[in-house]
Amino acid sequence: MAETTLDLRDMPKRQAYEELGAYVSSVLAGIDDDITAMATISALAHHAFGFLWTGFYRLVAPTLLRIGPYQGTLGCLEIAVGQGVCGTAAKERKTIVVPDVTAFPGHIACDTRARSEIVVPVFGRAGTLLAVLDVDSQIRGAFDATDRAGLERLVGWFIRPER
Ligand code: SME
């Protein structure tokens, strides 16, 4: 198939996430490689919504996240579990929505233009934490329950029970 980068900014958010999810599944059909999936999901989500920064931090040791595939300006290379928004999401194994990054104690500013952020844990089979997906926006309060549901569903790919 000929892959195309979607721009879904004109679509209602819920519908856009549905469209994106379906497209990610079709592009990744037959692929069984986490890094390929991270690269594909970050590129497609980033451009679909026009985010500031979109990418993965992989859990490479019990207490260490290291940057994986991403789109945007240079990201911090390593983040300790428990530090920043990413490290907190990894530690708590739950999604964190930060409407105003200046109000989050310990927020790590990789791109000073970031105003709001969402970090979603990425689980593999048997509930193993593989990574977190970090999305930043230049707009304050950009992320809501629809983004949470949409992004959590998107990273459901990594469980891939049928493969
Ligand atoms: N803001 C994140 C760090 C990663 S960068 O924004 C890409 C944090 O506080 O964990």
Please give the torsion angle defined by the CA atoms of residues 100, 101, 105 and 110, in that order, rounded to the nearest 10 degrees.
180
pLDDT at res. 163: 46
C-alpha 160/C-alpha 134 separation (Å) is 20
Query: Candidates 56, 76, 78, 119: which one to mutate for ligand 1, based on the most atoms within 8 Å of Cβ?
Result: 76
C-alpha 44/C-alpha 92 separation (Å) is 27
pLDDT at res. 160: 85
Distance 135 CA to ligand 1 centre (A): 9
pLDDT < 70: residue spans in the chain: 1-2, 161-163
Distance 107 CA to ligand 1 centre (A): 7
Query: Candidates 56, 58, 79: which one to mutate for ligand 1, based on the most atoms within 8 Å of Cβ?
Result: 79
- Tell whether ligand 1 has an atom less than 6 A from the beta carbon of residue 53: yes
